[in-house]
Amino acid sequence: MEEYAEVLNRLAQDLYTQGKISSLYANLPFEERLIAIYQESGKVHSQYFNTSLPPDGFTEDTPYWAGQNLFQTLRHPRLLDAIESIIGSEICATPILHVRIKPPENLTPRDDRGHIQLDKTPIHQDNAGILPEADATDMLTVWFPMNYTDMKNGCLCVWPGSHHLGLLPHCIDRGRPRIPTEFLKEIGKAVPVPVKQGGVLLMNKCTVHASYANRSEKIRWSFDLRYTPTHQPKVRDFFPDFIARSRLHPETELKDPIQWDLQWQETRQKLAKTGTPQFHRW
């Protein structure tokens, strides 16, 4: 949280310098400061907090965050123990890394069409976010909140047993995969999954899930990560991944957060010139 407070400070400084906000709001606590900056600037600046880069349209200056404390969280021994119990001991931390800091929907700016800029996540499977060449990869979704999440502030909901259906058809809705309405009758009813601070939700890549809207008066802050066995096809090979754990070859583990950040810097510089390869199958 302290690390991301510095990220928010960098955002405030950039917007203030550009004349997009009239104050740094430096005396406000993190949550109130973030909401105030978003409201005055009229935009949700989620890319400042995200590690993964956008699918297109980014430049050599597009912000991202690959900080030391985040890196250590991705490699946290207790987290990797849980992951190992499911996919084995040779663990790759993929570049599909999302940080979602969702303000209350009634306090979130809207786009030109009146849509909330960071609203509830549509019904989908995470397998829809990778290309067919990685369909055989045992990708595990790891989701955890920084504060208690429930139905009021936008926890996830899942459709139990839906992973047995395999990959369902999706469409792209405002840049995000979504299962069309006509296929939803196959998956039954959703079950909400409240998660306490310190808890983790682990999901099969074909588990159908979504999030509720944040109708509370507080932010909903979560991390959305993917891990795979190292010997299986990469899920997004044009972005940098790293070996988080290897019982067989521990010398291959990446332990230097600075090196991880440099990999993202080099990737951003390269793809800003060449463009990002195909991102979605749909």
Asked whether the beta carbons of 101 and 95 are under 8 A apart, the reply is: no
C-alpha 56/C-alpha 279 separation (Å) is 9
Tens digit of each residue's pLDDT (9 = 90 or more) over 15-54: 999 999 999 999 999 999 999 999 999 999 999 999 999 9
Asked whether the predicted pLDDT for residue 67 surpasses 90, the reply is: yes
Residue 187 is predicted with a pLDDT of 86
Residue 275's Cβ-count burial label (10 Å; 0-12, 13-18, 19+) is exposed
CA angle, 11 as apex, 72 and 175 as ends, to 5°? 80
Residue 138 is predicted with a pLDDT of 98
pLDDT classification of 173: cutoffs 50, 70, 90: confident
Residue 91 has, within 13 A of its CA and on its CB side, a CA count of 25
- Please give the share of the chain, as a percent, with pLDDT higher than 70: 100
Q: What are phi and psi of 224, to 5 degrees?
A: -130, 105
Residue 261 is predicted with a pLDDT of 98
pLDDT classification of 183: cutoffs 50, 70, 90: confident
Asked whether the predicted pLDDT for residue 186 surpasses 90, the reply is: no
226: β partners: 141
Tens digit of each residue's pLDDT (9 = 90 or more) over 81-97: 999 999 999 999 999 99
Instruction: Using alpha carbons, list the distances in angstroms from residue 41 to 15, 29, 37, 122.
Output: 8, 18, 6, 26
Tens digit of each residue's pLDDT (9 = 90 or more) over 199-217: 999 999 999 999 999 999 9
pTM: 0.96
| Chain centre distance of CA 41 | 23
Residue 174 is predicted with a pLDDT of 84
Q: What are phi and psi of 113, to 5 degrees?
A: -95, 5
- Across the range 124-153, mean pLDDT stands at 97
- Average pLDDT of every residue of the chain: 96
Residue 178 is predicted with a pLDDT of 94
For 192, the token pair is 């909400």
Q: 3-state DSSP helix/strand/coil percent for the chain, to nearest 5? A: 30, 20, 50
CATH fourth-level superfamily of 75-255: q2cbj1_9rhob like domain (2.60.120.620)
Sequence ranges of the domains in the chain: 75-255
C-alpha 256/C-alpha 210 separation (Å) is 34
- Across the range 120-128, mean pLDDT stands at 96
Residue 69 is predicted with a pLDDT of 97
